[in-house]
Copies of this chain bind each other. A is one copy, B any other.
Amino acid sequence: MKLALAILGALSPVLAHSIWPVPTKYEGGNCTTAAASTQIVVGYTVSQLLANAVDRYNSLISKESFTPPADYNITKAPATDGSLSGLQISISNSDEALSLDTDESYTLDVPVDGQATLKANTVYGALRGIETYSQLIITYGGVKVVKDTPVHIEDSPVLKHRGILLDTSRNYFAVDDIKRTLDAMSYNKLNVFHWHIVDAQSWPVESKSHPELQEIGSYGPDMRYSYGDVQDIIQYGKERGIRIIPEFDMPGHTYIISESHPDLISCPNVQPNWANYAAEPPSGQFNIAKRAATDFAISIIDEYAALFTDNTFHLGGDEVNLNCWNDDPDVKNYLKAHPNATVQTLLTEFYTNVHDELAKLKKTGISWEETLFHTEYTPPKSTIIQAWIDAQSIPDTVAKGYRSIASPASAYYLDCGHGAWLSNFDGNSWCDPFKTWMHIYNFDPFANVTTEAQRKLVIGAEVALWAEQADWTTLDNYLWPRACAMAETAWSGKADSNGHVRTTAEVAQRLHDQRFRLVGRGIRAEPMQALWCARNPGMCLLPS
C-alpha cells in the first residue's frame, strides 16, 4: 500500500486548480485524500496572532462547503487514497512586526496520507499558507477531500505591496464593511488597505487635535470612525497580514476642512464654475500662502501618523489646481509682496514642510504621481510614488529612481465605466469603459520597465474604488472578483515558472472557483458569467 501510494503520489507540475492566487510553485500528484480532519495546529504557541488565525481558519474550514462550479454534477464523495490528519505549522520567527518588507513566503505539503505541514519564516507567511490550505479543501457530496495529493507548494509574492484603495469620504463605509473587505482581501493574499479616509466631501475620522473636523465635516455621528474604530481596523488588518495605510490628501481635495476652518482653504466650493478649480465639486485646497494652513496640515500629519501605526503615510498630492491659488486674494497679496515667489515655489515650500514632518516622524511618504511629475518639488528619494494617470508613469517613476505602486486608471480603477454622475450630464465616466477582470488581469505592472534594477523599484499594485458612485450597497460587487485578478498578477506574477504568460482563458475557471468561494464566505462578489459558463469550462470563449 505504501508503495502504491508512493507511485500514485509522484509529483508533477499540474494546474493548481481552485487555488487563487496561483502558487509560484505547485506540484501535485494524482491521489485524493480524505479531509475529514482538517485541524490546524501550531507546534508551539509563540504568536497570539497566529493562534487567532488558526482558530479563525479552523472555524472557517469546518463550516465551509465549497464545490467548484464545474464539478456541480459530482454529488458523491470520490474514492480516496489516504486521510489527512490536519496541518502542522512551524515558523522560524515569531516577530509580529508587519511592514513592506515582511517575508510572506511559505512552503506547504499535503501528503496522500497523514499530516500536512506548513513552514514559514514569519507569522504572515504562515497566514498565506493557511489560506492556501483552506482552498485545497473541496467538498463533494458533503465530504471534504484534497485532490491531486501529494501537494507540494513553495510560494512567495512577486510584489510586496498588493492593495485596495477605498475612498470613505465621498460615501461612508461602516466599520463592518471595511472588516468584511479585509476578510476578502486575506482570501486573495492582498496585504495593503489604502484607506483614502478623507477628501473634499466629508471628514469621517475622529480628530482629537481638531474635533471640529469630524463634528462639522463628517456626514453625521453615525458616519464617523472613532479612534477606537481605527485601532480596531488596524488590528483586524494586522491579524490578517494587511497593513492599513492612511491617506490624508493635501493640499487639494480639502474643501471639507473649510467648513470648520474657512480661513485655511482657498477657492472653497466655487459654484457653479467649480470646474475651473477642481476635478469635481466641491473645490478647495490648503491656502499655501498662509503659514497657518501649513501648520494645520502638519498637525494633521502629527496626529494621524501617531494613530496609524504603519511606517508609511500617504500624503496625496493629486489633482492640484493652480487656478485655485492664482485667483486667491491671499496668494496674490503674498506674491505681490514677494517678487521672487510663485505659486510653484509656494507649493514646493508646502510639500517640503509636510514631507519634512513625515521624515521627522520616521515615516515613509507615499505620494500620487503629480507630486513627482507636475510640480517643481523634488520628493525625498525614499518616497513611494503611486501612478494613476498613465501606465507609462510606472517606468517613468522608476527611471527617476523612485519606487512605484501601479494604479493606472486605465486598468485598476474599479469605479470606471459607470457613466457620468453630474446630474445634468448624459455622458460617460471620465475613465470609461468599465475595467473587466480580464482587462485587469492582462495589465502588467512591469510593462516598459526594462532593467532589473528598475524592476526592483516596482514594489506594488493597487486597485482603487473611488466612491462617487459607490457605497455599502455596491462595495462587494465593485471589488470582487475583479480585485482577485490584480491579486493574482501581483502575487504570482504574469507568467508561470516556465515563462508562459497566463491567459484569461486559462485562469477563468479558477477565478469562477474563487468567486463562488468568496460568495460562500459571505462576500457579495458579482458573477463573471452565466452559471452555465462556470459549469462548462471553455465554452464561453470568443472563437479565435
Task: Enumerate chain A interface residues (CB-CB to B < 8 A).
Answer: 72, 169-172, 200-202, 219-220, 269, 271-275, 280-282, 417-426, 428-429, 432-436, 438-439, 442, 467-471, 473-474, 476-477, 503-505, 508, 519, 524-533, 535-536, 538-544
Alpha-carbon distance A230/B536, docked complex (angstroms): 28
Q: Is the CB of B504 within 8 A of A424?
A: yes
10 chain-A/chain-B pairs, Cβ below 8 angstroms = A170-B531, A274-B543, A281-B533, A419-B433, A419-B434, A420-B542, A423-B529, A424-B504, A432-B434, A467-B530
Q: Flag if B531 contacts A219 (CB, 8 Å).
A: yes
Sample of 10 more A-B contacts, CB < 8 Å, known A272-B541, A281-B539: A219-B535, A271-B539, A418-B434, A422-B542, A424-B503, A424-B505, A432-B433, A467-B530, A469-B526, A473-B527
Write out the residue numbers on chain B whose beta carbons fall within 8 Å of the beta carbon of A272: 541, 543-544
Could you tell me if A417 and B418 are in contact, using CB atoms closer than 8 angstroms?
Answer: yes
A504 to B422, CA, bound (A): 10
Once the chains are docked, how many angstroms separate the CA of A171 from the CA of B530? 5
Contact: A476 with B476, CB < 8 Å? no
Chain B residues lying within 8 Å of A504, measured Cβ to Cβ, are 423-424, 426
- Chain B residues with CB under 8 Å of A274's CB are 543
A536: which B residues are within 8 A, CB to CB?
282
- What is the predominant secondary structure among interface residues of chain A facing chain B? loop
Q: Which of B417, B524, B530, B543 contacts A170 (CB 8 A)?
A: B530
Q: Find the B residue at minimum CB distance from A201.
A: B532
Residues on B with C-beta less than 8 A from A422 are: 540-542
Known: A281-B539, A543-B273. A433 touches B438 (CB 8 A): no
Nearest 4 CB-CB pairs, A to B? A419-B436, A423-B508, A201-B532, A170-B530
Assembled-state Cα–Cα distance A504/B421 (Å): 11
What residues of chain B lie closer than 8 Å to A530, measured between beta carbons? 169-171, 201, 467-468
Instruction: For residue A358, give the distance in angstroms from its CB to the closest CB of chain B.
Output: 28
Assembly CA distance A271 to B532 (angstroms)? 14
Among A171, A423, A528, the one with the most B-chain Cβ atoms within 10 Å of its Cβ is A423
State whether B543 touches A421 (Cβ < 8 A): no
Which B residue's beta carbon lies closest to that of A529? Answer: B421
Q: How far is the CB of A106 from chain B (nearest CB, A)?
A: 30
Bound complex: CA of A541 vs CA of B477, how far in Å? 27
CB distance from A83 to the nearest CB of B (A): 30
Chain B residue at smallest Cβ distance from A169:
B530
Q: Do the beta carbons of B172 and A531 come within 8 Å of each other?
A: yes
From B280, B438, B524, A424 is in contact (CB under 8 Å) with B438
> Does the CB pair A469–B528 fall under 8 Å?
yes
Give the docked Cα–Cα distance between A535 and B474 (Å). 20
Q: How far is the CA of A542 from the CA of B172 in the complex (A)?
A: 24
A273 to chain B, nearest CB (A): 5
Check B473–A525 contact: CB distance below 8 A: yes
Bound-complex Cα distance A418 to B274 (A): 30
**In the bound complex, how far is the Cα of B431 from the Cα of A434, in angstroms?**
12
Residue pair B476, A477 in contact (C-beta under 8 Å): no
Q: Are B468 and A477 in contact (CB under 8 A)?
A: no
A389 shortest CB reach to chain B, Å: 21
Given the interface pairs A424-B505, A438-B426, A540-B421, the reply to whether A471 lies near B172 with Cβ below 8 Å is no
